Structure 1
Amino acid sequence: MGLTPFITAVPMPAPSVEQAWLQLVQARVEASLVELLELPDEARLDSRWTQALGHVREYVLRPTRRMRPALLLAGYCLARGSAAVPAGLWRFAAGLELLNAFHCIHDDAVEQTVLRRGGLTLHHVLAPAPTGQHLSVVVGDHLFARAMETLLSSGLPGAAQASEHYLRLCRYTSVGRYVDLEQGGARLGRGGVVQALRLARMKMVREGLAPALVCGAMLAGADGALRMRLARVGCGVGLASELREELLGLFGEPRGGARAPGCDFLVGRRTFPVAAAWSRAVPEVRRELEALWALPAERRDEAALGRLRRLVEEAGGRSATEHLVARASHGAVRALSELPNPNGLRELLQALIGQLAHRMV
């Protein structure tokens, strides 16, 4: 039978297995999110909050692939050896999405981002700056609390342990986020490649891909050995995805995705492609890269971004990043080959890894 129960549940003109999986996950998780954000106990608290909660629902339900829930369910089913999914797992998966929304809202407020998933960021929707930023931080805190309620009330054996694992890793990556923000606008220089790769590794966990895979196995009662092997898979997936995001943040085109092209340059974030380009460049190119990086925010326009792109491309920063993306994804596939393959779930995971690592820029 394989994954037939999943595939037949999705209306489709013959999609691939991973597309069918993602379509089902999107539909079921978004239905859970709608339910979780109804909150009748808050309906009469204040009319202004009722209006704000409508904006929050729109923000959380914007189209996205829901890759964290997809990996959570894949980890669960692979560890369980069955494609059957308990109702509480959909609720737990939706809780992870609420937790991710909390992270995104706070990140957008900190970085004064304008767009997220094809629409205005929540602080722009709620009110003009700085009031909108302040309000969005409070909304993010609300979503964090709702996420915790959701994870712990899923009714799954091991929900508390899996939540603790996920939150511990979120806590660790806050350190990476702090360093990333604290060094904003830092000059390019020696040691930048090592630091940029270290930060990419820390930020990848914040994205929740590796923890979601392991949490799924934990909820299925997997032993420590299987969880460790899935963690290796997840770390490879996460690093490949984060480095791909950094390429999208420099070379991507506007497509309604999570990140706007050039966003990292605009805020002075020294990502791996730029650091790798500096380390490989001849002295005159290094000086030009440094001059671009020293520009004040108001002068980081399209012309400056275009010049930065050309320099990073010509100095080998893009190819070096692509090489690391390939190496990380291949490492994930190698680790995956050691896992069991009930109902073709290992092939499903490999296809999901490919989708994350090979998005076009």
Structure 2
Amino acid sequence: MGLTPFTVAAPMPAPSVEQAWLQLVQARVDASLTELLELPDESRLDIRWTQALGHVREYVSRPTWRVRPALLLAGYCLARGSASVPAGLWRFAAGLELLHACMAIHDDTAEQSVLRRGGLTLHHQLAPGATGQHLSVVVGDHLFARAMETLLGSELPGATQASQYYLKLCRYSAVGRYVELQRGGACLSAGGVLQAWRLARLRMVREGLAPALVCGAMLAGADAELRLRLARVGCHVGLAYELREELLGLFGEARVGVRAPRCDFLRGRRTFPVVAAWSRALPEARRELETLWSLPTERRDEPALGRMRRLVEESGGRSATEHLVTRATHGAVRALAELPNPNGLRELVQALIGQLAQRIV
């Protein structure tokens, strides 16, 4: 099994090292994804499927940081104490991206989203209306099967165990997704904060940042103690990421003339900042928050969104969430300090987390 050497140059400033790592991972994983989606055995099955696969390849190859594969590789190298990885690890990393693409396609369909990574969501590309949504669910199922083929066929000693670990967490995240779609997120009630916290943790798992770090270590044969420490790091990072995403989902800027595709209020998605604001608000503000959330979808316009933002800001929902983001980030740094540091690889993991922090500020 061939090894691909990584060189982590100590004299280089930290940002240059992790950005070079991200660029290398992105290039190698994108190449693996291209290869995995060629599928010559399907090329003559049906011309319509061939056209659909063209849309799938474009969807999967859209520009992104490939943070999950980067953390997978970092976890592997940290556990091995070496910056060289087997060729099969690139396929495993690409398999994780296919699995994430499957979940993203299903999420886009369930939420009837329009945009994903700067382009139209897959169901809008495949066909108009309900037909496109139905087709995209089938394509997501196909990608799930391809991801399983890839993960288990990576020819890595710990591939089965690592895949089982990742899939178990996917099951947990599906539970959170079910509750969120059924209820629109956490309730505006006395127990809503705890519920919103639990849902944020389940959404964190869905992003796959913590599982990727642990899977990398598992594939390297790490012992239970190191896997636990890496899980602690990953959970802190993942939670900080998810809570910041929820802030962006409420306070992120909308495109001119277009509803922001990720705006949680316009989508009827009650997240931690809103529930935290309700729990801290005075009675009058609570009633107004409840009134805004009871509006039908067609009446959740920009003025209503602006008022929701002001209420969340004034009632302390934003500051409470930002405090938790900071606390989780500091928790990741403390947990990282407990890890071994062979060949400066711990600093690389910390720098990757720093890149994530810049992404979510």
Does the pair score TM above 0.5?
Answer: yes
The answer on 1:280 being equivalent to 2:318 is: no
Secondary structure of 2:351's partner? helix
Secondary structure of 1:212's partner? helix
Deviations 1:139-176 (A, max 9, x none): 00000000000001111111011101100110121111
Contact 1:63 1:117 in 2 (8 A): yes
How far the C-alpha of 1:191 sits from its partner, in A, is: 1.4
User: Structure 1: how far apart are the matches of 2:186 and 2:321?
Assistant: 20
User: Structure 1: how far apart are the matches of 2:72 and 2:174?
Assistant: 22
Deviations 1:234-282 (A, max 9, x none): 1111111111111111112358xxx946521122111000011111111
- Corresponding residue for residue 138 of structure 1: 138
Contact 1:176 1:199 in 2 (8 A): yes
Deviates more, 1:23-32 or 1:283-292: 283-292
Contact 1:205 1:211 in 2 (8 A): yes
How far the C-alpha of 1:55 sits from its partner, in A, is: 0.2
**Deviant stretches of 4+, over 4 Å:** 259-262
Secondary structure of 2:84's partner? coil
Q: Percent identity?
A: 82
How far the C-alpha of 1:22 sits from its partner, in A, is: 0.8
Over the residues paired in the alignment, what is the CA RMSD in angstroms? 2.0
- Corresponding residue for residue 352 of structure 1: 352
Aligned AA for 2:166? Y
The answer on 1:225 being equivalent to 2:225 is: yes
Query: Which ranges in structure 1 are unaligned for 5 or more consecutive residues?
Result: none
- Corresponding residue for residue 291 of structure 2: 291
Secondary structure of 1:319's partner? helix
Contact 1:185 1:293 in 2 (8 A): no
- Corresponding residue for residue 123 of structure 2: 123
How far the C-alpha of 1:206 sits from its partner, in A, is: 1.2
- TM-score, scaled relative to structure 2: 0.93
- Corresponding residue for residue 77 of structure 2: 77
Alignment of 1:264-275 (within 5 A): 264-275=264-275
- Corresponding residue for residue 192 of structure 2: 192
- Corresponding residue for residue 38 of structure 2: 38
Aligned AA for 2:152? L
Alignment of 1:6-85 (within 5 A): 6=7, 16-85=16-85
Contact 1:166 1:215 in 2 (8 A): yes
Q: How many residues align?
A: 352
Contact 1:218 1:227 in 2 (8 A): yes
Deviations 1:272-325 (A, max 9, x none): 000111111111111111111011000111121111111111111111111101
- TM-score, scaled relative to structure 1: 0.93
Contact 1:33 1:94 in 2 (8 A): yes
How far the C-alpha of 1:7 sits from its partner, in A, is: 6.2
Query: Which ranges in structure 2 are unaligned for 5 or more consecutive residues?
Result: none
- Corresponding residue for residue 314 of structure 1: 314
Judged with a 3 Å threshold, the aligned counterparts in structure 2 of structure 1 residues 341 and 14 are, in CA distance, closer, same or farther, namely: closer
Judged with a 3 Å threshold, the aligned counterparts in structure 2 of structure 1 residues 260 and 210 are, in CA distance, closer, same or farther, namely: farther
User: Structure 2: how far apart are the matches of 1:187 and 1:232?
Assistant: 28
